[in-house]
């Protein structure tokens, strides 16, 4: 992601932060040195939900942006537990999602109590109820996680079947629906390139979104990405992904009416009276994959499951966990080990078939 693209991403963070109290904006600004813009944007969304809940529950009569620090200081552990129940039963958040929101709030409250200082060197908060809140227990052994994942990813011939479906099958399926057919024809090279690149590299959604034209090395079949922790890395992709990227690049400029100033690799169709194009958002890519997955007959398939599909296939064909760990950008090798359980299960099924 080049400098201009980073500035645009941080502009979205600033836009959301502007909807929050001053001390949260200060926290977000401080964290820009250590957290990725994608993480900060997620934090902003989590904070907006929390402060909206405070106002809705009557803990402050006013706007979300004006919630004072003393409201946070007087919150009880039970009140925060009520918020977590709201997330679980009213918003239908999964335990892992709730844990992410707890983590964001713990980080904010820790900053307000232990890092931030008033002009007379006093903390913003003396009391921190979030420090007493525990995460949801969601620990599962790797075999259990692998079992849950196995039915939601692509196996064997499904890799190419799904890629072909995105490239042409979807259009054939909806050829009598002029709106869907025309939209597919306009974006099929782009959509195929995105799906093929994830299946051929295992890149994360945020890494796909952040790619610029200049990040691609079409000679070495690699892409420069910013991984978690703002670490730069060159990640290799497959020959099929290269071919699909070349097909997309051949039409990108004309189909999306781009000038040379737009460096984002994956862009949206021109919208509005001026035909404005912009970098595809994470949600736009998620919705695109969901659309194809549902029509393909595998609705549980998602961007992250495409990444899992790549990793499972890579391990099955190469059996090299350290290289897979680097390819995926995992900080811990234990995270990568889940794919050994997936492929071991497939081996067991193959052995069982011998007795049939």
Choose, from 190, 204, 227, 341, the residue flagged as catalytic: 204
Cα angle 183, 188, 190; round to 5: 115
Choose, from 101, 190, 330, 341, the residue flagged as catalytic: 330
Count the residues in the chain: 356
Q: Can you say whether residue 227 is alpha, beta or left, with left for phi > 0 and alpha for psi between -120 and 50 degrees?
A: beta
Choose, from 307, 308, 313, 341, the residue flagged as catalytic: 307
- CA 129 from centre of chain: 29
Choose, from 106, 304, 323, 326, the residue flagged as catalytic: 304
Give yes or no: 315 in active site.
no
Q: How far apart are CA 328 and CA 201, in angstroms?
A: 8
Choose, from 31, 110, 152, 228, the residue flagged as catalytic: 228
Strand order in the sheet with 231-236: 216-217, 222-227, 231-236
Q: How far apart are CA 2 and CA 174, in angstroms?
A: 38
Q: Which residues of 52-86 are buried (b: 16+ CB within 10 A; e: fewer)?
A: ebbbeeeebeeebeebeeebbbebeeeebeebbeb
Choose, from 163, 248, 339, 341, the residue flagged as catalytic: 339
Tell me, letter by letter, the H, E, C secondary structure of 134-180. Answer: CCCCCCCCHHHHHHHHHCCCCCCCHHHHHHHHHHHHHHHHCCCCHHH
Q: Can you say whether residue 216 is alpha, beta or left, with left for phi > 0 and alpha for psi between -120 and 50 degrees?
A: beta
Closest CA to 63 of 74, 77, 48: 48
Give yes or no: 348 in active site.
no
Give yes or no: 95 in active site.
no
Q: What is residue 199's DSSP assignment? A: H
Longest CA pairwise span in the chain (Å): 78
Give yes or no: 188 in active site.
no
Give yes or no: 110 in active site.
no
Q: Where are the alpha helices (DSSP H) in the chain?
A: 3-17, 22-31, 37-56, 69-73, 77-85, 95-110, 142-150, 158-164, 170-173, 178-199, 205-209, 239-255, 282-296, 303-318, 321-328, 333-336, 338-353
Positions marked active-site: 204, 228, 304, 307, 330, 339
């Amino acid at each position: 992601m080049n400098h201009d693209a980073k500035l645009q991403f941080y502009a979205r963070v600033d836009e959301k932060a502007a909807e929050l109290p001053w001390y949260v904006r200060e926290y977000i600004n401080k964290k820009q040195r250590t957290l990725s813009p994608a993480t900060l944007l997620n934090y902003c969304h989590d904070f907006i939900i929390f402060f909206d809940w405070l106002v809705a529950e009557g803990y402050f009569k006013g706007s979300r942006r004006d919630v004072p620090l003393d409201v946070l200081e007087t919150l009880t552990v039970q009140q925060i537990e009520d918020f977590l129940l709201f997330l679980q039963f009213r918003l239908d958040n999964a335990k892992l999602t709730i844990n992410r929101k707890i983590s964001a709030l713990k980080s904010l409250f820790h900053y307000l109590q232990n890092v931030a200082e008033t002009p007379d060197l006093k903390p913003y908060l003396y009391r921190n109820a979030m420090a007493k809140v525990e995460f949801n227990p969601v620990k599962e052994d790797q075999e259990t996680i692998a079992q849950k994942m196995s039915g939601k990813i692509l196996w064997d011939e499904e890799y190419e079947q799904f890629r072909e479906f995105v490239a042409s099958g979807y259009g054939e399926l909806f050829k009598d629906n002029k709106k869907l057919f025309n939209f597919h024809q306009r974006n099929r090279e782009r959509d195929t390139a995105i799906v093929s690149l994830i299946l051929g590299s295992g890149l994360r959604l945020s890494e796909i979104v952040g790619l610029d034209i200049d990040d691609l090395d079409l000679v070495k079949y690699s892409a420069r990405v910013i991984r978690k922790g703002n670490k730069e890395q060159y990640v290799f992709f497959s020959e099929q992904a290269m071919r699909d990227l070349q097909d997309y690049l051949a039409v990108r400029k004309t189909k999306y009416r781009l000038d040379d100033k737009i460096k984002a690799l994956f862009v949206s169709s021109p919208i509005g009276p001026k035909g404005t194009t912009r970098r595809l958002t994470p949600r736009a890519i998620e919705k695109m994959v969901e659309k194809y997955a549902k029509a393909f007959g595998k609705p549980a398939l998602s961007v992250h499951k495409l990444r899992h599909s790549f990793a499972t296939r890579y391990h099955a064909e190469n059996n090299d966990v350290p290289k897979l760990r680097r390819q995926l950008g995992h900080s811990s090798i234990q995270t990568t080990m889940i794919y050994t359980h997936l492929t071991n299960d497939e081996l067991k099924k193959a052995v069982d078939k011998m007795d049939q």
